[in-house]
Every structure is written in structure tokens, then in C-alpha cells.
Amino acid sequence: MTRTLTHAFAALAAAALLITVAATSPRADSPPVRFAASTSRIKDLANVEGVRQNQLIGYGLVVGLNGTGDTLNNIPFTKQSLQAMLERMGVNIRGATIRTGNVAAVMVTANLPAFGTQGTRIDVTVSALGDSKSLNGGTLLVTPLLGADGNVYAVAQGSLAIAGFSAEGDAAKITRGVPTVGRISNGAIIEREIDFALNRLNQVRLSLRNADFTTAKRIAAAINDFIGINTAEPLDSSTVQINIPQQFTGNVVSLLTEIEQLQIEPDLAAKIVIDERSGIIVMGRDVRVSTVAVAQGNLTVTITETPQVSQPAPFSRGRTVTVPRTRIGVQEDGKRLALVREGVSLQQLVDGLNALGIGPRDLIAILQAIKAAGAIQADIEVM
């Protein structure tokens, strides 16, 4: 029997001893590091405060299932809902035994878009709530969709489209996708509008999707340059307030149409994002390191068991026993030292770390050790 125990040495004691912080100026023999400016529209960097979706939810019944619905004896809320629905239709089944398997209780969810008007249709998602095996072929009955305030904003009904399927026999079963979740395209009609008079506002606020003081200041400066007066100001790292100029009074939509097309260069903090579960590492453009030497090695311990049988001599009173034989071997690979110089670009940093010939999981340990030594100028976020 062979058991191999492999321990990845994020062996960075050498790194802690060999870190040297060089001067901040670049080396004379190395070319200056430059990045091509990348601009984005304000439309892609910020949202207009108040222009947003609202989540809706409802409880309903799906009928027409081919015996794949809820088991009424096990799911009492489906049985109660079916009885209540039939009573509203004038059918009294109180006390009667119901054995249908063609009905399933479901939760219906949707997003009410900004400025959605009465009569507009929206998509809905239908998810099984009980022990239904599949919603394939089902039809959702009229289901009111409520907002967080308890008011009905839309009504859903229609035939479900299911991406998954399930099939089974006496000794085998196969399931592809999720057959208990379906979607109805344009399956709900908006019945109530959310009052939001955008054109009557005296000021609007832009909410940055990635909060940053520099980006907020650049957005405000670009808007002021376009309008010609100081009408925009950053309130914090994620909010820019715009006072509506006189020429755009009562026509805020026209102002936003012009503003959202302005191009600026966003600025983000240097950050390294690590997902230890999957071994994913994402490094931002502005990540920098001081001059650091890194050593990494893999220690492989091999344990081989070769038991032997010891038998007694003929006609003796001994007994047969098993004698253990163990052989242990130790091998250390990757005994290399790589130098990562100060102020290098992201590509040079990656090349320097790749020179160690290591995988993503060892690289995670190396980055964390460099950060602990104070030689990396970036935040490390572990997901």
C-alpha cells in the first residue's frame, strides 16, 4: 500500500528574510511603465438614483401536470389552496378525498422595471414549493404579484417553459437541468405604476457602481465641463449630485441623455481578489510590489508498505504472523529563488511569479506572505 502525502511549502521564510525595499524611482536600465488610458461612459459607471427595479412575489397554483404535481396528503398547503380556489368557483369539496397529482403550489417572482406603465407585460419565474417532480406542461393560474409594501403591482398567468426534464423507470432515473423551475415570457401584466416624476426634480444624484473618490471627482468635472457651469459635485466616494441647470428645467431626461455619454477614465484601488476554494486569482492593473526574492518548494513524502508473512518451521509449535515492512522516501522539488523587482507592471509581476513554476494554490500563499511582509502595495480580498 502506498500513501503519498504532498505538502505545498509556501516556503517563504526565505522571502521574509530576503525582502528589500528599493527606492521609489524606477531603475535607470528599465523602460518606464505606461498604461493605455481606458475610458468608459458615465452610463456604464453610475446609476441614476431612483431609477431602479422593484422585486415582486406571489403564491399560486400550476395545473395541467401529467401526474408530476404535489402529493396532496403530504403537502397540506397545496390541498388547502386547491379547495379555496374551487370554492371561489362555486365548487364545494370540503371533506372530500382529493387524489389528483396534476396540481403544484408555486412561488412566482418578477422584477417591476423602472417607469413600468399599466398594461405592460413582464417576464416571471415560477418555482415549485412542494414535492412536485416536474412543472413541464403546466399552466399557472391567475396569481397576484405583490411588492414590499403589500400592494398588488402585477398579475401573472400563462403556460410554463421548462428547460430541464426528468425521466425514470423501475431501475433507473435521469434528470437534466431543473424541471421544477420554469419561466413565462411576458407572463404578467402590470396593474399599478410607481409614481416617480423624474422631469420635476430640481437635482439628481448619480450612484457609482464601484465607489471611488477619484472617479467621482472626474465624473463631476466632466459634467461641469460639458454644461459650462459648476452644477455637479461629488458628495462622497459613491455619489455625485447634479443641480439641474436652468436650460434643462422640466427636461431632466434630456440632460441625463447628454451626460451619460460623456467619457471618463475610472480609477480603482489596487486590489487582489482570491478565491481559495477554486484557486482563482484576479489582480488589478495598479498592483505593485517592492523588490522581493521568493523561494518556494514542494516536499513529497512517500510511504510504501510491503508486509511480509513469517511462517514457523514444519512440525513446530510456532504460528504464522505478518511482519510489517515500511519504506519512507523524502523528495523536495522546486528549490528555486525568483526575484521580483520593485515597481514592475502587472505583466512583469505575473511573469516573475510564474518563473517559480508553481500552481495557483501555491501562488495564493505566496501573495499572502508577500503582503504580510509589507512588500505588496494592494489590498488582498479573500472570497
- pLDDT greater at residue 32 or residue 356: 356
Which range among 128-137, 162-171, 217-226 shows the weakest confidence by mean pLDDT?
Answer: 162-171
Residue 89 one-letter amino acid: M
Contact 351, 241 (CB under 8 A): no
Helix residue ranges per DSSP H, the chain: 13-18, 42-45, 76-88, 213-227, 252-259, 346-354, 360-372
Residue 15: its pLDDT value, please?
36
CA 102 → CA 64, 65, 68, 143, 330, distances in Å? 6, 4, 6, 18, 65
Contact 68, 136 (CB under 8 A): yes
Paired residues of 308 in beta bridges: 323
Cβ contacts of 88 within 8 Å, gap of 6 or more: none
Please give the Cα distance from 66 to 169 (Å, whole number): 16
% residues pLDDT > 90 (the chain): 39
% residues pLDDT > 70 (the chain): 75
Which cell goes with 84? 379555496
Whole-angstrom Cα Rg for the chain? 33
Residue 33: its pLDDT value, please?
38
Angle, to 10 degrees, between the axis of helix 252-259 and the axis of helix 213-227? 120
Contact 158, 98 (CB under 8 A): no
- pLDDT greater at residue 106 or residue 288: 106
Mean pLDDT of 136-157: 95
**Ordered strands of the 292-305 beta sheet:** 2-9, 292-305, 326-340
Cβ contacts of 347 within 8 Å, gap of 6 or more: none
3-state secondary structure of 222: helix
pLDDT tens digit string along 30-69? 333 334 457 899 999 999 998 989 999 999 999 999 888 9
Please give the Cα distance from 231 to 203 (Å, whole number): 9
Paired residues of 337 in beta bridges: 295
Task: Look at residue 252 and tell me whether its pLDDT is greater than 80.
Answer: yes
Which range among 103-112, 274-283, 310-319 shows the weakest confidence by mean pLDDT?
Answer: 310-319
Cβ contacts of 113 within 8 Å, gap of 6 or more: 53, 120, 122
User: In the structure, how many helices (H) and strands (E) does the chain have?
Assistant: 7, 25
Task: Look at residue 306 and tell me whether its pLDDT is greater than 90.
Answer: no
Residue recorded with cell 444624484: 205
Q: Where do the domains of the chain lie, and which CATH numbers do they carry?
A: 2-26+271-382 (no CATH), 41-49+197-264 (3.90.1150), 54-190 (no CATH)
CA 154 → CA 54, 106, 185, 305, 373, distances in Å? 12, 16, 14, 70, 57
pLDDT, the chain, mean: 79
pTM: 0.67
Mean pLDDT of 76-81: 90
Please give the Cα distance from 216 to 45 (Å, whole number): 10
Task: Look at residue 234 and tell me whether its pLDDT is greater than 70.
Answer: yes
**Four-residue CA torsion sign, 55, 164, 142, 103:** negative
Residue 308: its pLDDT value, please?
76
Residue 373 one-letter amino acid: A
Mean pLDDT of 10-14: 35
Task: Look at residue 173 and tell me whether its pLDDT is greater than 90.
Answer: no
